[in-house]
A and B are shown apart, each in its own frame.
Chain A
């Protein structure tokens, strides 16, 4: 990755921010980049194991989009931070506590139904988020968002169609889709939960308020669940903490694979 400069726009086009806001914004960019990196890594685990060839190819294509977005977002985080960390340093040398991804994306793949439910809940959210981020006052983030929203639309479509097919399919496929939905629902509140610094970022026009995405996300999820004849789980127990580095046990295991080469051979290139 080192050889290619993904964005030749230097940090010169970064918005003028005070040091406190800048640090919070870097953390937010890591949140977006880590979502793509970790979910991309999870989907990559399906490579060679998909239920049919077409879906094997689809999941790895989605992984490729997500990792492409992650590369750009981590590069942007490094530029804004201005401490000399590039995409590789950020992806390969941070420990689990420094990762800012949602707990949802680090959950194990489970069966195909669970992977599709996870993808749909995430993509329906990231589509709404990137649509709004195209208007970010950071031109670097706005440009990435304009590309990411087009990709998220296809990810949402692919996973949403699968939810309908599985939910409104056989008794077995419906049971599996409903179980997956029940298992993952506790992680969805985290997507709309504001962190203490988010208000300052929203006031600077850098990001939307997290809670502002909820109505559009709800409407899309309700529509798909209705078509899929699936039941919306009761709100109840909820899990959050990914954005502050309090992850599930799974993240460390993901990183041990993802970061192995750079940890064993620091600075290795090919």
Chain B
């Protein structure tokens, strides 16, 4: 690690740049910024840093790990006072995932959330969105289960290449 050269962050932009190294422990290609769970960064006149995050799902087990990672990263970079605040409102939505995040997710083998499902998300009699296979690009895919390896993903299968894959479902 070549952290020695890093200078102590002076403003919110410096802090955000440092937090680009903090990723979701369950989807390590996504930063907390990509996911849209980093809601605000404030640095006061004395240099004390407040980072505001929001959980994806209420039971997301990664939240404490993410909070620790934020704290470690900023203390390592020389910040002396770091406060991580968790807010629930407004409720996180997959709409907050960045375009860059969606690209990284697909390259990693997870289909990104479909656009524009709107209010019908998760509705019982709503049609499933068209999900593109992250392996071969085919849209001939089918849902295997509403719940995949984590709460935020559904399990799909591609009819073209026969591979199973995770889909990051819209909420």
Contacts and interface: CB of A to CB of B under 8 A. Distances in A.
Interface in B146-171: 146-151, 155, 169, 171
Contact of B59 (A5, A54, A65, A156): A65
Contacts of B92: 147
Contacts of B87: 7-9, 143
Contacts of B169: 154
Place the interface of chain A in its size category.
35 or more
Contacts of B124: 153, 156-157, 160-161, 220, 224
Contacts of B123: 153, 157
B58 A146 contact: no
B15 interface: no
B91 interface: yes
A61 B155 CA distance: 12
B147 A153 contact: no
Contacts of A153: 121-124
Given A143-B88, A150-B91, A153-B122, A57 B145 contact: yes
Interface string A125-158: 0000000000000010011101110110110111
A242 B64 CA distance: 33
Interface in B42-57: 55, 57
A55 B91 contact: no
Contacts of B27: none
B59 A7 contact: no
Interface residues of B, number: 33
B85 A8 contact: yes
B57 A146 contact: no
A66 interface: yes
Interface stretch (A68-76, A172-180, A198-206): A68-76
A69 B85 CA distance: 18
14 contacts: A3-B64, A4-B64, A4-B67, A7-B86, A9-B87, A58-B147, A62-B147, A65-B151, A68-B57, A148-B58, A150-B121, A153-B122, A154-B171, A157-B122
Interface of A: 3-9, 54-55, 57-58, 61-62, 64-69, 71-72, 139, 142-144, 146-148, 150-151, 153-154, 156-158, 160-161, 220, 223-224
Given A54-B147, A64-B57, A147-B58, 15 more contacts: A3-B64, A5-B86, A8-B87, A61-B151, A65-B58, A69-B58, A71-B59, A143-B88, A144-B88, A150-B171, A154-B146, A156-B124, A157-B146, A161-B124, A224-B124
